[in-house]
Structure 1
Amino acid sequence: MFGEKKESRFVTILSESAKGGGIARVMVDTETGIQYLFVYALEAGGLTILADEDGKPLINEEYRRKKD
């Protein structure tokens, strides 16, 4: 339990400076492969799912854990 090294569920695949001094990150849930956009600046931030033109979540298969 304690001291065990566990893989992170979310990984950052892109990090950029945004206008106004903020940061924009694309993160991936390694269990589902779903990508999220996380933006923050000063004391405010927001998180949203990245979606295709049909509104379906963008999946990054490279990071998705396969279910056995």
Structure 2
Amino acid sequence: MKTKRFKRVYNEGAMAVSEIFVDQETGVNYFFHSNGNAGGLTPLLDKEGKVVVTEIADTSF
């Protein structure tokens, strides 16, 4: 069985939805926000503007 590449690690909202996904191959975190039929996806950044990367072993939760 092949593991899914992206794992949702955070979710909030019903009409306006905010989610964070982790790429299980690279560890890069992505922020997704949608409201109605509009949405956007971007890499999640820390306070220094660097891409948030989760160690792959940490995505097994």
Query: Could you tell me the TM-score, scaled by structure 1's length?
Result: 0.74
Runs of 4+ with >3 A deviation: none
Q: How far 1:54 sits from its partner (Å)?
A: 2.8
Give the alignment's Cα RMSD to 1 decimal.
1.4
The equivalent position to 1:26 in structure 2, one of 16, 20, 31, is 20
Q: Which residue of 2 aligns with 1:12?
A: 8
Instruction: Give the total of aligned pairs.
Output: 57
Identity %: 39
CA distance in 2, matches of 1:29, 1:44: 22
Unaligned runs of 5+ in 2: none
Letter of the structure 1 residue corresponding to residue 38 of structure 2: A
